[in-house]
Structure 1
Amino acid sequence: MTAPLARPVPHTAYSDDLYTWAMEQAALLRAGDLSALDRENLAEEIESVGRSEFNSLVGAWRVLLLHMLKWDHQPDRRSRSWALSIRAQRDAAADVLTDNPGLKGRLDEALERAYRGARILAAQETGLPLARFPERCPYGRDEMATRPFPVDPDEIGGTP
């Protein structure tokens, strides 16, 4: 008679080694040993994944809004780099939303957080007073996604 295979027994504390703890938790899940799971920390980590996706959207919109603000408040300094950054951040935000349709209920919150940071960064990077930038986001989500920003330096009057 053969002895039954032993299931992995988690022995790594969450606070000691996150990587090893995560691998052990994954092995327990795959083995169906739900009673051995560190449920509280596992739930926290799963929630953290969701927060990370939300923060990815906020981050993409923050950079997008920063360059839109700079574009509008420093027309003589417009550059191909700003226009391309706007395009790249639009794509990044669209990808996050495509991959995470559940975020659609939090778009207003994401926009508010993104703009709050973009406004401060715009003042910092342009040297203009913070009061020069509206307290509330002057752009709607549709404008953020579709407003044209020329890339050709001859079209924008700036440098490449």
Structure 2
Amino acid sequence: MTDLTQLYRQDYSEWARRNRELLRAGRFAELDIEHLLEELSDMGKSERDELESRLLILLAHLLKWQYQYRSLADRWREFDGRSWRVTIVEQRKRLAVRLRKSPGLKSVLDDAIATAYPDACDLASKETGLPMDTFPPACPYRKEQIMDDDYYPD
């Protein structure tokens, strides 16, 4: 076991600092390659997980807006969907920031939408009490609509 491997288990910050120094110095043979690869892989997975999590919440709220908003607004005059709108605005903003900070995620956005959509339907169904078959089997929104600050489904 190398000193860096042991350091990885004991002091992550110091491990990262030392690997940075080795990279800057061009001392590639001394790097803790195994853990560096693991960390890079985890970073990408973590960013993708965040993207899908935000999409899940956003898509669920778009579905609730489309399939339940009118019936609630008709029954309760005071229901104006404000909390749903706040959530939609916030998730769109957080998604835009994430995509700006990690532009490589744009290449997986379509796949992330397809992955998050079934869980969004499940969440919307549980939160509204509407049956799952209320919602289309595939995401009815284009990514441009999902990210459009002015788009709210009818």
How high is the TM-score relative to the length of structure 1?
A: 0.76
What secondary structure is seen at the aligned counterpart in 1 of 2:141? coil
Is the contact between residue 66 and residue 121 of structure 1 (CA under 8 Å) also seen in structure 2?
A: yes
Aligned partners of 2:93, 2:66: CA distance in 1, in Å? 21
What secondary structure is seen at the aligned counterpart in 2 of 1:113? helix
Greater relative contact order (Cα < 8 A, sep 6+): 2
What secondary structure is seen at the aligned counterpart in 1 of 2:130? coil
Superposed counterparts of 1:10-159, under 5 Å:
10=4, 12=6, 14=8, 16-17=9-10, 20-31=11-22, 32=25, 33-75=27-69, 76-77=71-72, 79-146=81-148, 147-149=150-152
What secondary structure is seen at the aligned counterpart in 2 of 1:41? helix
Aligned partners of 1:71, 1:82: CA distance in 2, in Å? 7
Deviation at 1:132, TM superposition (A): 1.2
Greater percentage in helix: 2
Is the contact between residue 97 and residue 103 of structure 1 (CA under 8 Å) also seen in structure 2?
A: yes
Identity %: 35
Aligned partners of 1:21, 1:133: CA distance in 2, in Å? 45
Greater Rg by CA: 1
Aligned partners of 1:88, 1:126: CA distance in 2, in Å? 20
Q: 1:26 to 1:128 in 2, by over 3 A?
A: same
Q: 1:22 to 1:40 in 2, by over 3 A?
A: farther
Is the contact between residue 52 and residue 116 of structure 2 (CA under 8 Å) also seen in structure 1?
A: yes
Aligned partners of 1:95, 1:138: CA distance in 2, in Å? 24
Is the contact between residue 58 and residue 92 of structure 2 (CA under 8 Å) also seen in structure 1?
A: yes
What secondary structure is seen at the aligned counterpart in 2 of 1:10? helix
Aligned partners of 2:132, 2:35: CA distance in 1, in Å? 41
Deviation at 1:122, TM superposition (A): 0.7
- Show structure 1 runs of 4+ deviating over 4 A: none
Moved more, 132-141 or 76-85: 76-85
Is the contact between residue 61 and residue 114 of structure 1 (CA under 8 Å) also seen in structure 2?
A: yes
What secondary structure is seen at the aligned counterpart in 1 of 2:123? helix
How high is the TM-score relative to the length of structure 2?
A: 0.79
Supply the AA of the counterpart residue of 1:97: L
Deviation at 1:22, TM superposition (A): 4.9
